[in-house]
Structure 1
């Protein structure tokens, strides 16, 4: 019995050869592939130099400059990654990060962004720790708000200068990792900001906020939490909404949306938006997804670690300062005269939202709804396309101003949530549902199945 000879790699179609080379993940192996022959050298080089990275680290600056000075290689990169410090990973609370000086060599290398003519994507990565307007002398972080602004100006200037050469591709995709929730109004009202953002069609933002591990309130009294959501809408989204085709807004670690500042983009039109990804976006009112349902062009919707705030206990002083929207909330009785906060229930269900998504977005063909742990490296704006679709137990969440280290208390894998509601349930004669996952599982699952079936028929 004879067998067909296996085709040699170079005898395959170029597209197949390219795909084989893309499976080689180690940079050292790709470097070795370049030595094999001219055909494989071209494919390996395209994979090896597709992304270019720079940080204040001398090694990164040297590599960046070397690539930018080779006429054949500098044509390859499509995505530039600019880290403001050599290490921007989250090492957890209590870890001190050594600050690195931003040298003239680093600034000069970033300014020479025009040396890469085929770039169409830029990613800016800051460190996750930050302090805001009421910075105290004892608080030390690697990058202050003003230093972050200086870095944004440096990079945006390089992008603008690069655009003056008509032979260069335009930067259409911008990703910002650990964007501090601190309004930089002078920067975002500048001609520099408008010129760069006016070309952007894809915007991916991962927000970070001040966090003091010894703070009694998880820094929820910080003014930025109240002012940033409206600023994000007015200064970042509204000016470019007409051009956006892809938008991602994630918070690095915390639920956001209903308060301390209310995220309300309902007055913004997104006529061309096809993909929307939201991370830790939290619903607490029946109309919180109206702005999403108004985007009729939407084809892909990712709700990553998105939840419904079912139980809310807010400190009385915070109630006065935040002025949260309490429509759709049921106020619960005080347990005693010394009660320090106001307690509410919100009866919204995911089944209702999923039904509305199915009926209101006529062009939607791809829907993702899942949770992902930072420890498992499945959550984050960079992992948005890894989000699956599943009814997860943590989709209903509790906010309790009196609990540390985080006020947002997620359910366990059985859907159980600890908090003030447990004690209240024991005092009330009427039944108080404590396991929203279990209570709503069948309805939520049926609505998700119906949504997915509808999307399947559209494909």
Structure 2
């Protein structure tokens, strides 16, 4: 067996890429050469969290030129404690150390991937519509987002931070600012390649939209990968009341002018857009407003979560994406729990200028005048068209992902080294959650009927180290749903309940089941043949 001294540095570098941080730090102590290889991997990924000593460690690394320049992947998580029950009667104490550490983001000039994560519960102020405390208010989120944007854009100064804090006006927080410039340029923007946000609030905050720093971040030439998961305000005691929370409608309707504005849409190669509830039809989000003639001209990968198909124009729009990417359109398309609406009962009258869509103002006015609409679009219509029109498509997955919780595959893979985890299990579960919008292209989940011993053999490999993606079992793919304003807690009624089965999914007409499956097999065959020709 080769000794450590006889292995090439390239081999050790590859080995280090699979090692946990404690092992990397120990390896770095063995020799100067090993430290040179192991240290960059040990500090490649960094987290700033609102619990433990995370903020203190983050600031120490930020103040070290030797260590901060090693960081490439930065995660900022607002959680104050994985054990804490948000939106409850528990007493919430903001982590002031976390908030004070945010301006140090500007020190990490070599970060290329930035991941922001908020709590899934959002609301307007301290007392939401049903009187229960909402911890991460819109003011809180604005302070975090705009501070980070100023750091990324190379626009952070203490004076600007003071203005942000005055606008946010957070209770029980007296900010402390960095005492010096730390040898970091105040005008150098980070060359971000990837930006992901988990639990982005369903609120189009005018303060953020007006921020020059936010606009600059979305205009960064280097930013080609955007992944957003939008959370929505809820009423746990009366879930049906969330229908009348107006902020989410404005937020989704304005996406083409905010998070998907031309300055970023024209540059993206990868886009992942998920929402906590069904969206696209109602709340409406009109993709036609994103680059009318050539939407997302350079896009190669698109992932959507809980997006609803309902109209013919959507078929043509998807086929028109990426016409300037050099690959004849989209290369990869992922549809995570994206059904077709075949029937809807909603407040009328509907929008006469855009037939088949409700008018938000009519619904919010609560004038009882329901209308029932039928929608003829079927999966075989969509897939047969895409098989011919999407010439560059090499990967197509439609089905159901792992949702908000950690996939069992990713969790068990993280626990398979036979050692005690370097942090409590509850922390591990927390860190592996809220990643569906990032893990969509991971390997399919393990089938539920697979023997446990076979599953364990997969867990010890690196196959699921980055999570489990979308299941394409027949029970998961090609879904349909109805909408009924008179039903609760959700107005959307999914027709299939046994997703992870080998049974073919429901279709509104009996004959459509076979037609849908045939169209699915045809597009998958076309993609397979295209891949073989490419090889």
Q: Is the TM-score greater than 0.5?
A: yes
Task: Output aligned runs, 1:127-276, within 5 Å.
Answer: 127-132=119-124, 135-136=128-129, 138-161=131-154, 169-199=190-220, 200-215=223-238, 217=240, 219-238=242-261, 239-251=263-275, 253-268=276-291, 269-276=295-302
2:336 is matched with which residue: 294, 305, 327? 305
1:235-254 alpha-carbon deviations (Å, 9 max, x no partner): 12123222222211111x32
Deviation, structure 1 residue 50:
1.0
Q: Distance in 2 between matches of 1:407 and 1:107?
A: 38
Q: Is the 8 A contact 1:131 1:141 kept in 2?
A: yes
Q: Distance in 2 between matches of 1:323 and 1:138?
A: 38
The answer as to 2:397 corresponding to 1:314 is no
SS of residue in 2 equivalent to 1:136: coil
Task: Output aligned runs, 1:57-96, within 5 Å.
Answer: 57-87=51-81
1:78-112 alpha-carbon deviations (Å, 9 max, x no partner): 121112233579979x7666533242x43442212
Shift in CA distance, 64/234, structure 1 to aligned 2, threshold 3 Å: same
Aligned to 2:165: none
Q: Is the 8 A contact 1:80 1:121 kept in 2?
A: yes
Shift in CA distance, 138/176, structure 1 to aligned 2, threshold 3 Å: same
Shift in CA distance, 117/35, structure 1 to aligned 2, threshold 3 Å: same
Aligned to 1:23: 18
The answer as to 2:480 corresponding to 1:397 is yes
The answer as to 2:438 corresponding to 1:412 is no
2:389 is matched with which residue: 340, 360, 364? 360
Deviation, structure 1 residue 204:
1.1
Q: Distance in 2 between matches of 1:311 and 1:77?
A: 48
SS of residue in 1 equivalent to 2:438: helix
Q: Distance in 2 between matches of 1:177 and 1:453?
A: 36
Q: Distance in 1 between matches of 2:216 and 2:267?
A: 13
The answer as to 2:416 corresponding to 1:369 is no
1:290-324 alpha-carbon deviations (Å, 9 max, x no partner): 332212224432323243334333333xx448889
Task: Output aligned runs, 1:307-346, within 5 Å.
Answer: 307-316=338-347, 319-320=348-349, 326-327=355-356, 341-346=370-375
SS of residue in 1 equivalent to 2:154: helix
Q: Is the 8 A contact 1:328 1:346 kept in 2?
A: no
Shift in CA distance, 87/126, structure 1 to aligned 2, threshold 3 Å: farther
Q: Is the 8 A contact 1:204 1:248 kept in 2?
A: yes
Q: Greater shift after overlay, 64-73 or 179-188? A: 64-73
Q: Distance in 2 between matches of 1:442 and 1:389?
A: 19
SS of residue in 2 equivalent to 1:255: strand
Q: Is the 8 A contact 1:433 1:439 kept in 2?
A: no
Deviation, structure 1 residue 361:
3.2
SS of residue in 2 equivalent to 1:203: strand
Q: Is the 8 A contact 2:265 2:290 kept in 1?
A: no
Q: Is the 8 A contact 1:254 1:408 kept in 2?
A: no
Name the TM-score, length of structure 2 as normaliser: 0.70
Aligned to 2:318: 292
Shift in CA distance, 393/160, structure 1 to aligned 2, threshold 3 Å: same
Shift in CA distance, 96/102, structure 1 to aligned 2, threshold 3 Å: same
SS of residue in 1 equivalent to 2:41: helix
SS of residue in 1 equivalent to 2:68: coil
The answer as to 2:71 corresponding to 1:45 is no
Shift in CA distance, 186/438, structure 1 to aligned 2, threshold 3 Å: same
Q: Distance in 2 between matches of 1:415 and 1:218?
A: 34
Deviation, structure 1 residue 380:
1.0
Shift in CA distance, 223/456, structure 1 to aligned 2, threshold 3 Å: farther
Aligned to 1:123: 115
Deviation, structure 1 residue 284:
0.9
Shift in CA distance, 215/328, structure 1 to aligned 2, threshold 3 Å: closer
Shift in CA distance, 107/51, structure 1 to aligned 2, threshold 3 Å: same
2:48 is matched with which residue: 33, 50, 54? 54
> How many equivalent residue pairs?
426
Q: Distance in 1 between matches of 2:202 and 2:23?
A: 40
Alpha-carbon RMSD across the aligned residues, in angstroms, is 3.4
Deviation, structure 1 residue 341:
4.2
SS of residue in 1 equivalent to 2:54: helix
- Where does the alignment leave 5 or more consecutive residues of structure 1 unmatched? 1-5, 330-338, 422-431
Aligned to 1:333: none
